Amino acid sequence: MKQVENIMLTADGYLELEQELNTLKTEKRPEVIKALKEARALGDLSENSDYDAARNEQAQLEARIKELEFKLEHCTIASGNKKDKVDVGSTVTITYEDGETEEYKIVGSLEADPFENKISNESPIGKAIINHKKGEKVDVASPNGNFAVTITDIK
C-alpha cells in the first residue's frame, strides 16, 4: 500500500480549497454538463469539435475535483497558535545579514505564493526557522549558499 504524504495547510488554505471544490461541483460541473448536452445535440460526434472540447473540459474538471477531495481528506490543518516559536501559520519578521527586513507567512507547500510573501514550510527559509524563537539567529541552507537570518518577530 502506498504511503500517503501528509499535506500541511493553514485554516485559510483549507477554506480556499473547500470553496474551490464547492464551486467546481455546484457551478462548473453543471455548466460542463450543459455544454456536453448542447454539443451532443449538434449531431455526428465523430467530427464534432465542440463535443471533444466539452469532453476534455469535463475530464479536467473531474480530475481537479478528485485532486481537491484527496488533498482535503489527507491534510493536516496547522494550528498556527504558537506565538513563542515559528510554526506553519505564523507570520514571521526576519532580518537578513545585510540588515534587510522581510515579513513572511509560513504556509504549507500548496499555499506558497512568494508574491504575497507566503513561503512554504519546506522552503530553505521555512525549514530553517520552524520551531525557532524570536531573537534567534538561524543559518539557512539554500541552493545559492548558506546565509543567516535573525527572527525579529512572530505573530
Per-residue pLDDT of the chain (155 residues; tens, 9 = 90+): 455 567 899 999 999 999 999 999 999 999 999 988 988 887 776 777 888 888 999 999 999 999 999 999 999 998 766 678 999 999 999 999 999 999 999 999 999 999 999 999 999 999 999 999 999 999 999 888 999 999 999 98
Report how far apart, in Å, the C-alpha atoms of 97 and of each of 8, 103, 146, 149 are: 30, 15, 11, 6
Least Cα distance to 104 among 120, 91, 95 occurs for 91
Domains and CATH numbers, the chain: 7-77 (1.10.287.180), 91-154 (3.10.50.30)
